[in-house]
Amino acid sequence: MSAAEMPEDQAGNMTDGFHLVVEALKLNGIDTIYGVAGIPITDLLRLAQAEGLRYFGFRHEQSAGNAAAIAGFLTQKPGVCMTVSAPGFLNGLVALANATTNCFPMILISGSSDRAIVDLEQGDYEELDQLNAARPYAKAAYRVNRPQDIGLGIARAIRAAVSGRPGGVYLDLTAEVLGAALDEATAKKSLIKVVDPAPPQPPAAHAVARALEILAGARRPLAILGKGAAYARAEAEIRAFIEATGMPFLPMSMAKGLLPDDHPQSAAAARSYVIGNADVVLLVGARLNWLLSHGRAPLWNSDTQIIQVDIEPAEIDSNRAIAAPVVGDIKSVFAALNAAIKPGQIERQAAWLDEIDKRKRQNIERMAARLNADPSPMNFSSALRAVRNALADRPDVYIVNEGANTLDFARNIIDMREPRHRLDSGTWGVMGIGMGYAIGAAAVTGRPVVAIEGDSAFGFSGMEIETICRYDLPVTTVIFNNNGVYRGDPEDRPYSPTGLIRGARYDRIIEAFGGKGYHVTDTPGLTAALQEALASRRPALINAVIDPTAGTESGHIQALNPRSAIAPGRSA
């Protein structure tokens, strides 16, 4: 019996699953939901909105999930995404898996069909064993089978998402539980306010001492900062340590801005040199995965000693031997390192720093020629210079970035000065995060967002332009339009697997929803359009026409193409 069906004299004392979910979220400070409405969650979303939660309705669950995930990264609170059953859930699952892979805290809550029918495969509407489907892609997965367990289920989901290494959590709510009635007194008592969901995890003193001892012996130390450090909001502690020791640092892409990219100790412009020649690497919230060549030759030297700071003990030694694991949360670890380090313990590494400076200068000079050229049509470098110029006095702007060449070039050309302001394809190098991340970032920060998108990458979430316009979000999407995946097809040939329609006017998509479209073909036009769009603080889309022959296949990761070794020139 649902609350609505109760006799009137009892109904006043009864509540239902819908109300309990909303109460449990509110009790735990979750104030925003991203989702797509439908059976059986429509009333849940209506109720949440009526109860004062913000609701962002998307056009596809993957984007809603991506928005929730990036909100989690930016706030240290799990972003909540709600979807319908079966296909809606599966669409959201991609985002959940991506959140788990990137260590972003997120909760995917999906309504599900009648368990009795699902488990006997009797063919229910949107039938799917969602709990088991979610398990391999989530940090944790739970199902609530009784209304009195809703509070518990949400408490467990929150704790699992944000404690230790953050990740994606799936919470299955059956239609039956959502509609189930419960008396208010029992319901109230069943709710849990999670105390200290992500408790500090200070490192062991001996681990800190061991790390400092190794660093003290270093002649060519290097710090590598990853997005775990950005998530941990440890920029003040990290900066203090890096400046006190004088050691060079290298940011991973989403750690750019933790220390400003123009910091004199940044070694980003001499990346392979510093990785290959460091004798001690202090690895902070970054995994030795493909993005760091697994810590192996030829990029890495097998003699380099590694100090790894991570909250996840099982991460240590995942790709190569770690001389000094420091397991703990990064904020506590750096507080401990700063407290334990003695003045002069790590001496200035003059020869090392001089050599790095020399190489930085050389590389920057080499890049400058390409960056300052003004070809017509624009290429990736010149178009990004135009974008960079428009952003020069706007360090507050959040940058979302995806594509192949668009990603590779933008990462190098667009400097970041504020932490957690660069949001990109991340650990999977995935496409499709663009509009979801842009909406999530705008939703939780209220700041302007510029999404720098390859034309192909944009397509995966492009319909969310309507969402951006509906909520009037300050998001400017810049599409680097070269008519294709990697690059465009020659005019006189039929479309290849990587070709996209020639001369597409993406700017007209946003006009359909009342946003501002720009069609630009040169660098002054691009800079001016972006400045105007930013100043307007309203939805805008800039279709930046670039040379269809610009761009290499797979960008910087061509080596990962199975046939690249035997088919040189495939990218031509």
Q: Does 455 engage in binding with Mg ion (CB under 5 A)?
A: yes
**Closer residue to ligand ADP, CB minimum distance, 398 or 506:** 398
SS3 346: coil
**Closer residue to Mg ion, CB minimum distance, 394 or 519:** 519
Closest distance between ligand ADP and the C-beta of residue 227, in Å? 4
Closest distance between ligand ADP and the C-beta of residue 287, in Å? 3
Q: Does 285 engage in binding with Mg ion (CB under 5 A)?
A: no
Residue 363 is encoded by which pair of tokens? 């590389």
Give residues with Cβ within 8 angstroms of 47, minimum separation 6. 18, 19, 22
Give residues with Cβ within 8 angstroms of 324, minimum separation 6. 207, 210, 211, 214, 305, 306, 307, 308
Closest distance between ligand ADP and the C-beta of residue 420, in Å? 12
Q: Which residue is nearest to ligand ADP (CB)?
A: 228
Distance CA 281, CA 270 (A): 15
Closest distance between ligand ADP and the C-beta of residue 296, in Å? 15
Stretch that binds Mg ion, among 226-234, 287-295, 415-423, 446-454 (CB under 5 A): 446-454
Q: How far is CA 252 from the centre of its chain?
A: 13
- Asked if residues 416 and 422 have their Cβ atoms less than 8 Å apart, the reply is yes
Residue 521 is encoded by which pair of tokens? 């073909």
CA angle 467, 470, 474 (to 5 degrees): 80
The sign of the CA dihedral 416, 418, 424, 429 is positive
SS3 21: helix
**Which of ligand ADP, Mg ion, none is residue 165 near (CB under 5 to 8 Å by kind)?**
ligand ADP
- The binding track of 208-247 with respect to Mg ion, each residue x by CB under 5 A or -, is ----------------------------------------
CB atoms within 10 A of CB 258: 31
- Asked if residues 113 and 127 have their Cβ atoms less than 8 Å apart, the reply is yes
Among the listed residues 386, 467, 446, 453, the one whose alpha carbon sits nearest the alpha carbon of residue 423: 453
Residue 323 is encoded by which pair of tokens? 């001389």
Closest distance between ligand ADP and the C-beta of residue 132, in Å? 26
Stretch that binds Mg ion, among 347-355, 454-462, 469-477, 557-565 (CB under 5 A): 454-462
Looking only at the bridges linking them, the beta strands covering 324-327 and 305-310 are parallel
**Which of ligand ADP, Mg ion, none is residue 232 near (CB under 5 to 8 Å by kind)?**
ligand ADP
Closest distance between Mg ion and the C-beta of residue 459, in Å? 10
Closest distance between ligand ADP and the C-beta of residue 220, in Å? 21
**Which of ligand ADP, Mg ion, none is residue 23 near (CB under 5 to 8 Å by kind)?**
none
CA dihedral 350, 353, 356, 362 (to 10 degrees): -80
402: phi then psi, degrees, rounded to nearest 5:
-150, 160
Q: At what angle do helices 150-162 and 17-27 cross, to 10 degrees?
A: 40
Q: Which of 167, 179, 434, 454 binds Mg ion (CB under 5 A)?
A: 454
Closest distance between ligand ADP and the C-beta of residue 157, in Å? 18
Residue 486 is encoded by which pair of tokens? 């990697």
Distances (CA, A) of 362 to 270, 356, 367, 368: 9, 10, 9, 10
Q: Does 453 engage in binding with Mg ion (CB under 5 A)?
A: no
**Which of ligand ADP, Mg ion, none is residue 482 near (CB under 5 to 8 Å by kind)?**
Mg ion
Distance CA 311, CA 13 (A): 45
**Which of ligand ADP, Mg ion, none is residue 312 near (CB under 5 to 8 Å by kind)?**
ligand ADP
Closest distance between ligand ADP and the C-beta of residue 412, in Å? 16
Closest distance between Mg ion and the C-beta of residue 551, in Å? 6
**Which of Mg ion, ligand ADP, none is residue 455 near (CB under 5 to 8 Å by kind)?**
Mg ion
Stretch that binds Mg ion, among 143-151, 259-267, 445-453, 478-486 (CB under 5 A): 478-486
Query: What DSSP string runs through 521-563?
Result: -SHHHHHHHHHHHHHHTS-EEEEEEB-TT---TTGGGGGGSTT
**Which of ligand ADP, Mg ion, none is residue 454 near (CB under 5 to 8 Å by kind)?**
Mg ion
480-499: which residues touch Mg ion (CB under 5 A)? Answer: 482
**Which of Mg ion, ligand ADP, none is residue 330 near (CB under 5 to 8 Å by kind)?**
ligand ADP
129: phi then psi, degrees, rounded to nearest 5:
-80, 80
Binding site for ligand ADP (CB under 6 A): 102-103, 165-166, 226-228, 231-232, 252, 254-255, 285-287, 289, 291, 310-312, 315, 329-330, 427
**Which of ligand ADP, Mg ion, none is residue 329 near (CB under 5 to 8 Å by kind)?**
ligand ADP
**Which of ligand ADP, Mg ion, none is residue 158 near (CB under 5 to 8 Å by kind)?**
none
- Asked if residues 233 and 76 have their Cβ atoms less than 8 Å apart, the reply is yes
**Closer residue to Mg ion, CB minimum distance, 15 or 482:** 482
SS3 486: coil
Binding-site size for Mg ion (CB under 5 A) equals 4
Looking only at the bridges linking them, the beta strands covering 140-144 and 79-83 are unpaired
Closest distance between ligand ADP and the C-beta of residue 552, in Å? 23
Among the listed residues 452, 208, 192, the one whose alpha carbon sits nearest the alpha carbon of residue 327: 208
**Closer residue to ligand ADP, CB minimum distance, 285 or 434:** 285
Residues lying near Mg ion in the complex (CB under 5 A): 454-456, 482
